[in-house]
Amino acid sequence: MTTKRKNFEKRYKLHLATGKDELRPAFDLVSFRGGYAYATDAHLIVKAKIKDISGFPDNELQLLEGKSISSSSFRKLLEFDDVTINESGFFATGVNGNKVSFLFNDQLIVDLKFDDVFVGILDNYREEKSVFGFNASLLNKASKVLGVRGTLKFEAYKNNKFVITAPNNPDVDIRCLLMGVQVE
């Protein structure tokens, strides 16, 4: 019998969605509001239901409301299996018995209204929605094949269930057709 971790699940690496920017220090945080965790680097926004990505009990989840921690603290926090939340932050015991604390930050990225961004996008496109998915390794392979070292360009066509990617260099005519897997 396996016991669920009393922490965030290791596979959900929200800290990777954050960014380090001296002019925008709030983008180096993982924030919590309304039962969700938020992380962004201003290019990628992640919203995750905390109950779905963690094993914390309800009484501790309530203590996360309106709080945030640095991305580096979130990354280190994932190394522990048994974590407790109180009013000050996250507390864990290391394998050697040492107590480790990850204190809450007083800044919040959710003040930037990312919840409104999600709601606005979903409301505007609810009628036109086509849901399909790509294997992440396929996207990685496509970027290597196309010689893209940065951003993949996606061209999505309304009536089709596929996306064409092309490099950002208009002088190079190389494209990759990615067939999506319909998930709904």
Q: Which domains does the chain have, with CATH numbers?
A: 14-125 (3.10.150), 132-182 (no CATH)
Q: In what order do the strands lie in the sheet with 29-33?
A: 45-49, 36-40, 29-33, 68-70
Please name every residue paired with 47 in a beta bridge, in sequence order, or none if there are none: 38
User: What integer is the mean pLDDT of 97-123?
Assistant: 69
**pLDDT higher than threshold 70 for residue 90:** yes
**pLDDT higher than threshold 80 for residue 17:** yes
Q: What is the pLDDT of residue 98?
A: 85
Per-residue pLDDT reduced to its tens digit, 48-87: 889 999 999 999 999 999 899 999 999 999 999 899 999 9
Report which secondary-structure segment, H or E, holds 69. Answer: strand 68-70
- What Rg, from alpha-carbon coordinates, does the chain have? 20
Q: Which residue has the higher pLDDT, 184 or 62?
A: 62
**pLDDT higher than threshold 80 for residue 31:** yes
Give the Å distances, CA to CA, from 38 to 28, 51, 112, 160, 169. Answer: 11, 13, 11, 32, 33
**pLDDT higher than threshold 50 for residue 1:** no
Greatest mean pLDDT range, 32-36, 84-88, 91-95, 119-123: 84-88
